[in-house]
Structure 1
Amino acid sequence: MNTNPISVVAITNLYPVPWAPHRASFNKQQFELLAEHVALRVLVLVPWREWLKHKHECQETERLSYAPYFQLPGFGRSLTPRFQRFAIGRKQPWIDRAKPTHLLASWAFPDAVACLMYAKNQAIPVVVKAHGTDVNEHTLYPKRRQLMTTWLSQAKTIFCASQALRDKLIAIGLNEDKVCTNYNGVNADIFYPDPAGMPDKKILFVGNLLASKGVFELLDAFHQLHNETDCNLHFIGQGPAADALKAQIEQHGLSERVILHGALPIHDVAKQVRTARLVVLPSYREGVPNVLLEACASGVPVVATTVGGIPEVVTEQTGVLVEPKNRLALAHAISTALATSWQKDVIVQHAAQFDWQQNIRNFLARI
């Protein structure tokens, strides 16, 4: 049993739930390691429509609970923190039983803003973890940006998954002394090179199936290349773009060459990654996506976009970078990467610097 006097309640929408058990595996990995050092509970924020559909699947324990919150679809996003704050308040008896010394809000908007609203009258310090879209997207909207500037300034520490995210938060007015970079890590027991050293004829995408992840540009780029390569294209993940993506695959006549796997358990994802020729992530915006770190830990080169913190972690020895939303450039980058003789040991060595244990040490030093 952990006897550390630090007691943390993590509040986030980014955590596996019974109906999406593979969601945000990176957060689950970090929280499990953190729980080796502190007493940890997790409160998962769930939009009310999801909750109404799945509430019978949710069982509260002393270490895990769920907070359903009202959400206005399509508009009113600046109101979401207040709805979440009300949902968190309804869980106060569960939170109080933990006797928390800290709250950890993992997602800068709306989750962290809601958590800080709740904590205002609780005299509990809040630390925040910023990921990518939570900063890159929401700071584009004046009302949300103002809410972030006002409330995040009250956090004790804000941990950013990249230097680019840190710079962006400082640019909207946050004190640079409380905003730090803390890269995510890779679990080397799960993500490691293929012992056989014989990759499949496979180009791989892993992530949410969203237009902003560049999935349609990737499909179009593959359509341009499919006659020039014997590789097939594999998508791992689920999301709102799945049906449109499937329709375009059929329209291009690529049903035999493009495979949609849906969401997979992390060990199955790792097997797919380590046997890939190439991992491709053509996102429009990112923090530092863990899939790129995991690909490198598996000795697999990557093609990705020059957005967010990606240029901080992808080097010329580990992959090829292109501007987002450019199908022709993406096709050329994939072709170049497939033709390059990569040094697997160099790629793996590069990934070794992204370590979950170091991430936890950095976290504990600043809470």
Structure 2
Amino acid sequence: MLRVLTLSTLFPDVSRPNFGVFVERQTLGLAAHPEVELRLVAPVGLPPWPLATLAHYRPLAALPRREMWKGLDAWRPRFATIPGTRGRFHVAALVRGLTPLLTEIRRDFPFDVIDAEFFFPDGPAAVALGRHFDVPVSIKARGADVHHWGMAPATSGQVVAAGKQAQGMLAVSQAMKADMVALGLPADRIRVHSTGVDLGRFAPRDRAAGKAALGVAGPLVVSLGALIPRKGHDIVLRAVESLPGVSLLIAGEGPERAALEAQIARAGIGDRARLLGGVPHADLPALLAAADMMALASSSEGLANAWVEALACGTPVVITDAGGAREVVTTPAAGRIVPREAAAFAAAIADLLAAPVPRDETRNAAARFTWEANTAALYDHLSELATHFRVFHGIPRHSAA
């Protein structure tokens, strides 16, 4: 059995059910592998007292330190996040908090490998812990963890150093791998590891019935993602504003909500543009299947799960040339890649509405993104790291450090 310690600060909990749901799904898949035993450590960052007592942080502070989460034995240790330091001290705080916990876990579960599921602060912390416990480390890059933390002055050095010291790395797309190499990370230690999609849940449905359930008549565009500037919801709003009769539903929550509400009001399109707030992941298949297309004007991405989930529902996408976009939109049936401008989005949306593509052709673009393939590739990657590390260091299997 391969014993895996999965470390991820990006993971759902009862207060944030959609937070890193794709990491959760990947972890559940790996845990179900017949040759794997897995323990999950999902650290929770909180500011020092008394800030941690503020209403915003109370749900996180109230989370159990250990629980069974969908069959996973999960620990949720705390680590200090000091406001105004731009993440500079996150890694040191995480290592301090995790060293005694992993020492305790290792008494009964001598893990073979640490699987860090987000590059920062998880990656640098995992490298320090791997060195302490004498086990190999894999770090996965997903998007903002490299595009933001890997370029921010306070943290970029920690990200690059961790990548150079990790025994292996994963990237969600070829484009993500190229960005990592551009930062100076060794290409020969980076493996592209594609996301998955549940093709049973995300599948075409009766579009007319779906629209009726949402209170929409006529063409429908859906946009998914946190309400932050990077996702470009304002651009899609301006595009839809110029398309009479087209409705837009935006699923997500974040600090840009008030600005987007004001934009809708100024444009006078409140009758056909709505913010849905955070939508449970279980409800996304119905939403995406009801749409004529999914539009997302991201300035950066790794490989957005929303792209693949939309395609699996037979819903084409209109997206920017961000991250792995060209690895997903490989045929006209999958949608369009356009400049990050409202006019370009409007033209592409109008084009797809004028000449709809058969939904089965669109769905075919998602066929290779399966969770089964994701699990198999992750198992191969981690087991190879563990085997090579033991052989190179002459370590007997499952010896505790």
Same fold (TM over 0.5): yes
The offset of 1:197, in angstroms, is 7.3
Count of residues in correspondence between the two structures = 359
Query: How far apart in 2 are the matches of 1:140 and 1:267?
Result: 34
Query: How far apart in 2 are the matches of 1:303 and 1:198?
Result: 23
The answer to whether residue 67 in structure 2 is matched with residue 67 in structure 1 is no
Note the residue ranges of structure 1 that are not aligned, 5 or more in a row.
none
The answer to whether residue 275 in structure 2 is matched with residue 260 in structure 1 is yes
The answer to whether residue 22 in structure 2 is matched with residue 26 in structure 1 is yes
Note the residue ranges of structure 2 that are not aligned, 5 or more in a row.
212-218, 383-401
For 1:317-350, what per-residue CA distance to the aligned partner results, in whole angstroms no more than 9, with x for missing partners? Answer: 21111122x2222222222222222121111112
**What SS does the aligned partner of 1:139 have?**
coil
Change beyond 3 A, Cα 1:118–1:299 = same
Query: How far apart in 1 are the matches of 2:225 and 2:269?
Result: 20
Query: How far apart in 2 are the matches of 1:234 and 1:95?
Result: 45
Identity %: 27
* 1:342 maps to which of 357, 364, 369: 357
* 2:303 maps to which of 260, 264, 288: 288
* 2:62 maps to which of 56, 62, 83: 56
The answer to whether residue 24 in structure 2 is matched with residue 9 in structure 1 is no
For the 8 Å contact 1:233–1:258, the answer to whether it is kept is yes
For 1:17-57, what per-residue CA distance to the aligned partner results, in whole angstroms no more than 9, with x for missing partners? Answer: 11111222211111111111211222112220478512224
Query: How far apart in 2 are the matches of 1:71 and 1:196?
Result: 45
Give the TM-score taking structure 2 as reference length.
Answer: 0.84
The offset of 1:195, in angstroms, is 4.9
Change beyond 3 A, Cα 1:357–1:280 = same
Q: Describe how 1:226-241 pairs up with structure 2 within 5 A.
A: 227=244, 230-241=245-256
For 1:250-271, what per-residue CA distance to the aligned partner results, in whole angstroms no more than 9, with x for missing partners? Answer: 2322222222222222221111
Alignment-mate amino acid for residue 56 of structure 1: A
Query: How far apart in 2 are the matches of 1:365 and 1:306?
Result: 30
Paired position in structure 1 for 2:130: 119
Paired position in structure 1 for 2:392: none
The offset of 1:283, in angstroms, is 0.5
Query: How far apart in 2 are the matches of 1:258 and 1:284?
Result: 22
Change beyond 3 A, Cα 1:94–1:244 = farther
Q: CA RMSD in A?
A: 2.0
**What SS does the aligned partner of 2:276 have?**
strand
Change beyond 3 A, Cα 1:341–1:175 = same
The offset of 1:116, in angstroms, is 1.2
Paired position in structure 1 for 2:396: none
The structure that has the greater radius of gyration is 2
**What SS does the aligned partner of 1:341 have?**
coil
The offset of 1:81, in angstroms, is 1.7
Query: How far apart in 2 are the matches of 1:254 and 1:197?
Result: 22
The answer to whether residue 101 in structure 2 is matched with residue 91 in structure 1 is yes
Paired position in structure 2 for 1:327: 342
Query: How far apart in 1 are the matches of 2:209 and 2:14?
Result: 35
Query: How far apart in 1 are the matches of 2:104 and 2:272?
Result: 50
